[in-house]
Amino acid sequence: MARMSFHGTGEGVGLRVLSMFMGLFLILMAGQKVGWLLDSSALMAELERWRGLTSGSSLRYLEAVCIPYAPIFARIVPLAEFAAGASLIVGFSIRLTAGLALLMVLNFHFASGIMFTWGYLWNGYGPPVIGSLLALAVGGRMLPFSLR
């Protein structure tokens, strides 16, 4: 049975607040993709746009994985973002959730090719999101106000 933990250090409280804000961020990102659940054409259009902007390994990944399986990803991504966001908000398995969300975000950044540009370093979806999820994946154990 899950129980709520209320004790923690200042650092733990800070990471717990970060997990709630990252959870909200992921839920809002999922909300932008709800339409994908019924129609994958918006995702396909985005992938085709990225195809024209990227090269090398990102282009090969788009052509071999992302574009052929876009109808599946169109259903999985919004559900995964929502589930990860909800998990981070309630504090359930924060380290695991943050690690999986980090892989999902890196997957998008790799496929778009943005992570190989200088602009990535000041992109609001880049280092702040990656750093936050990485911090939670590393230090998000036994945080206060979390489900156990």
The answer to whether residue 62 sits within a structural domain is: yes
The answer to whether residue 1 sits within a structural domain is: no
What's the pLDDT score for residue 7?
A: 57
CA distance linking residue 2 with residue 129, whole number of Å: 28
pLDDT grade for 58, boundaries at 50, 70 and 90: very high
CA distance linking residue 35 with residue 142, whole number of Å: 36
Question: Chain-centre distance of CA 61, in angstroms?
Answer: 19
The answer to whether residue 95 sits within a structural domain is: yes
pLDDT cut 70: percent of the chain above it: 93
The answer to whether residue 2 sits within a structural domain is: no
What is the pTM for the complete model shown? Answer: 0.88
Overall domain count for the chain: 1
| Cβ 16 vs Cβ 144: under 8 Å | yes
Flag whether pLDDT at 37 surpasses 70: yes
Please give the residue range of the domain that contains residue 110: 9-147
The answer to whether residue 85 sits within a structural domain is: yes
Which tens digit of pLDDT belongs to each residue from 102-124?
999 999 999 999 999 999 999 89
The answer to whether residue 4 sits within a structural domain is: no
What's the pLDDT score for residue 133?
A: 97
